[in-house]
Amino acid sequence: MGSSAQLPGVPITPSPQGPSRLAAHVRNYAWGSRHAIATLQGREAPTLPEAELWFGAHEAGPATLEHPGGDVPLDAAIAADPDALLGPDTAARFGGRLPFLLKLLAAARPLSIQVHPDAAAAASGFAAEERAAVPRRHPDRCFPDPWPKPELLRAVTPFAALCGFRAVERTLDLLDDLTLPGAGWVEQALREGGDAALPQVVERLLRLATAPRRELLEGLRGALAPTGGQRPAWGRTREHIAALHATYPDDPGVLVALLLELHELSPGQALEVAPGTPHAYLGGVGVEVMAASDNVLRGGLTTKRVDTHGFVAALDPGAMPVGRTRTHQIGPGHHRHATGSPYFALHEYRDAPDATASHRLDPASAAIVLCLEGQVTLSHAETTAALTAGYAAFLPARATPCRLHVEGTAIVATAGDHHLDGYPMGV
């Protein structure tokens, strides 16, 4: 892998010798917020809702590397000098590509109910859409890249999500609590088939004809109305399903949501979402780290394209909720969120009375450092990058070790250190 690669039309800029600030790529989706990210960053509210800030090198929205020799897209900088920026091992493992994408996400409204493909499905789906000549930026494209998309979400504010199929016994208990008219076939299918019946139940719900779909949704609206007789155990689930129903009153995705486990995260808690896991983020601000992919198969709760066949085919009926991920303390003020992904690792540094404010960063690969609160300073040799809340910097592999000074909270994303067996790397 040579170090003189150049993207067409992009001049070669000397690669950074130390940490450099990143200007995020902004995604203005309708479910985003006009206030949350702007407030975090201490600036005026934008005209359009800001849903996601992308700090990464994905070709659909690379961040911009602020460089004395001229600002350059991060993917172009990496392509020009992959060994120096990623580290030789990471460059070899991932084909000269930054393997992870870090996002700051603000959901003022629920996101679609969706699932991400595993590596084999991503590669085959990408190849099929390439053969069909579907433009990679086309709204009907489900596989703009050939990479899987495991992800982890760390809550910045209280964050609600539906994630993973609920245990069948508990779903039957919920349906019993709702006494939902017309749902007898769902209960029968789950009692007889257990977890294995879940994809078939999901597909039938999504493909209901207009009249039975509306009848079932109208029955659900009535069943969700508070009467004082419901069991407290299902109170929060009822509230969130009712909010989905109010937003999408004619969408069968609301019915599928009845099968998913509710997670309400406090700030600092995290949820890991493996490929094949159905999920819908309901609201809040969070940090996401994921394999560098934009592949999404949607089943409902959206105005975007719904691919019922692809969504159902990608479902893992064993994708039960994993719950909140554990964190491991590495040292004073330094924690790591547990994940088995080879694509990413997520570290967190906080100042505290019993913690040092200065840390040595020495990852084996490139890192992206995001300040969540307070101020963070990265120092290497004669280069310094200072960050305030909501802003990030890129730390090239050649610039490690580096000193990280934290007066608040910093998130550090790097490539994972797990072995790649069982993780095809795309095409």
DSSP 3-state assignment of 413? Answer: strand
pLDDT of res. 69 = 74
Q: Which domains does the chain have, with CATH numbers?
A: 110-148+161-270+298-322 (1.10.441.10), 327-414 (2.60.120.10)
Q: How far out from the chain centre does Cα 78 lie?
A: 23
Tens digit of each residue's pLDDT (9 = 90 or more) over 19-61? 999 999 999 999 999 999 999 999 999 999 999 999 999 999 9
Digit-coded pLDDT (tens) for 267-276: 999 999 999 9
pTM of the predicted model as reported, rounded to 2 decimal places: 0.91
> Using the 8-state DSSP alphabet, how is residue 324 labeled?
B
> For residue 179, how many other CB atoms are within 10 A of its CB?
12
Res. 8 pLDDT band, cuts 50 70 90: very low
Q: Look at residue 426 and tell me whether its pLDDT is greater than 50.
A: no
Residues 227-253, mean pLDDT to the nearest whole number: 89
Q: Single out the catalytic residue among 21, 141, 298, 350.
A: 298
Spatial distance between the Cα atoms of 317 and 24, rounded to a whole number of angstroms: 36
- Which residue, 95, 127, 64, is CA-closest to 1? 95
Whether 298 sits among the annotated catalytic residues: the reply is: yes
Structure tokens at 404: 């990280």
Strands 113-115, 100-107: parallel, antiparallel or unpaired by DSSP?
A: unpaired
Stretch 391-408: mean pLDDT:
93
Residue 318 has what pLDDT?
73
Instruction: Please classify residue 75 by burial: count the beta carbons closer than 10 Å to its beta carbon, then call 0-12 exposed, 13-18 middle and 19+ buried.
Output: buried
Structure tokens at 267: 């700030």
Amino acid found at 123: A
CA atoms 53, 58, 61, 66: torsion sign: positive
What is the C-alpha separation between 422 and 165, in angstroms, rounded? 24
What digits encode the pLDDT tens for the residues 357-372? 889 998 889 999 999 9
Of 413, 426, 276, 396, nearest to 339 (Cα)?
A: 413
Check residue 65 and give its pLDDT: 94
pLDDT for position 17:
82
Provide the pLDDT for residue 26: 97
Q: Nearest 5°: phi and psi at 201?
A: -65, -45
Measuring CA to CA, which residue among 214, 197, 199 is closest to residue 251? 214
The helix (run of H) or strand (run of E) holding residue 376 is strand 367-380
For 292-302, what is the mean pLDDT?
A: 96
List phi, psi (to 5°) of 260: -105, 150
pLDDT at 414 over 50: yes
Q: What is the pLDDT of residue 225?
A: 86
Most confident of the following: 122-136, 221-235, 412-426: 122-136
Residue 16 has pLDDT above 90, yes or no: no
Q: Provide the token pair at 78.
A: 């990496």
Mean pLDDT score of the chain: 90
- Cα dihedral 29, 32, 33, 36 sign: negative
H-assigned helices in 11-147: 36-41, 74-80, 82-86, 88-93, 119-131
Above 70 in pLDDT, residue 234? Answer: yes
Q: Is 3 helix (H, G, I), strand (E, B) or coil?
A: coil
% the chain with pLDDT above 70: 91
For 50, which DSSP code? B
Mean pLDDT of 369-385: 93
CA 153 to each of CA 7, 255, 324, 357: distance values in angstroms, whole numbers, following the listed order: 32, 24, 10, 25
Round to whole Å and give the CA distance between 32 and 49: 5
